A and B are shown apart, each in its own frame.
Chain A
């Protein structure tokens, strides 16, 4: 039975949070159909013995099992594994796009989530049937987006839908108000990763509290600044997710030159005199 990475990371994050609170996780009706979840190491984070044997095939070329991220060194380790395990060495631009998104999204967790358990990440490279794509997911049980942004944007306190919409705009950071961010944060991470997903024809999913947003797969690479103007779904979910989940898909056959994503975003930056900056590239 296949399970998408976002569900695996959510289960791992939730299980770790429960165990951190002294609770014990138990599973019912678990069958060998859950071997994929076992291979992705989900049950290790739940503290559950699945009572069936899995044959551990070589991971390379298929997936990055669930990892718990607590430090910048953990991020570097995952990024290195993305290169080794997904076998994208033949396609440097696609590899860079995946590494880029994993890095930016995990940095968000470490810097903003205040999650006592860190974040959980996994990835799967679907290379055999249909569209070749890499699916990435990152989940945490931290303070959530609304609580993070409310420190500087009080209007979003308690309003998860507004918080999601705001978080995906460029130049928004909970560090302090302003269009230009801080010395360490520009507030562009979610915007650029959304652009990469959209530009490659993949989906982008963001969930926090009682709201979930999905940018649908698209046949056009046109990027809109306002995520609510995109072709999307917005759900008000019944059960609160205390924390944040980000999942995205990168169809690797559609990754153009990596720099095109940044050029296209730069094209939107207002230049009163319409001339390019005198940057010295030597």
Chain B
């Protein structure tokens, strides 16, 4: 039996309340997954979320159960913006962040988001 969890936001369309995310994780998400039940996280009412919110929601779950748990979790009605944040949290939860340089002398990596008005 699938567990369906509706994600709501305190601010219209914007989910940032980590305490609420943690409560969902502890009370609903982890219990369902520990029994091997599939879960649907329905983001219909949310367009944006902070990385901290998504981390509090699923970061521990992914680290605990690893990549196979992704077969049990369905992220429903996600905007492209939400998908990008969820993908980031999933990626670093499984693989970590880029190799960190030493504070004073380290190698670097670079990346480049698009700007609306490119000023290059």
Interface residues, chain A, with chain B CB atoms under 8 Å away:
72, 75-76, 79-80, 83, 92, 96, 99-100, 103-104, 107, 162, 165-166, 169-172, 179-181, 183-186, 188-189, 192, 195, 199-201, 219-226, 228-229, 253-272, 276-282
Contacts and interface: CB of A to CB of B under 8 A. Distances in A.
A229 B97 CA distance: 17
Q: How large is the interface on B (under 10, 10 to 19, 20 to 34, 35 or more residues)?
A: 35 or more
Interface in B62-90: 63, 67, 70-71, 73-78, 80-81, 83-90
A200 to B, nearest CB: 7
Interface of B is mostly: mixed
Nearest to B63: A180
A27 B77 CA distance: 55
Contacts of A75: 16
A277 B111 contact: no
Between B74, B93, B111, the greatest number of chain A beta carbons within 10 A of the residue's beta carbon is seen for B111
A184 B48 contact: no
10 closest Cβ pairs, A-B complex: A259-B84, A262-B84, A171-B97, A269-B91, A183-B60, A170-B97, A103-B16, A260-B113, A264-B113, A256-B114
Contact of B55 (A166, A181, A221, A228): A181
B99 interface: yes
Contacts of A269: 88, 91-92, 95-98
B110 interface: yes
A270 B95 contact: yes
9 contacts: A96-B81, A99-B11, A165-B103, A166-B103, A223-B113, A254-B119, A258-B48, A268-B109, A278-B70
A259 B75 CA distance: 16
Contacts of A165: 103-104
Nearest to A170: B97
A64 B76 CA distance: 34
Interface string B17-43: 111001001000000000000001000
Contacts of B88: 262-263, 265-266, 269
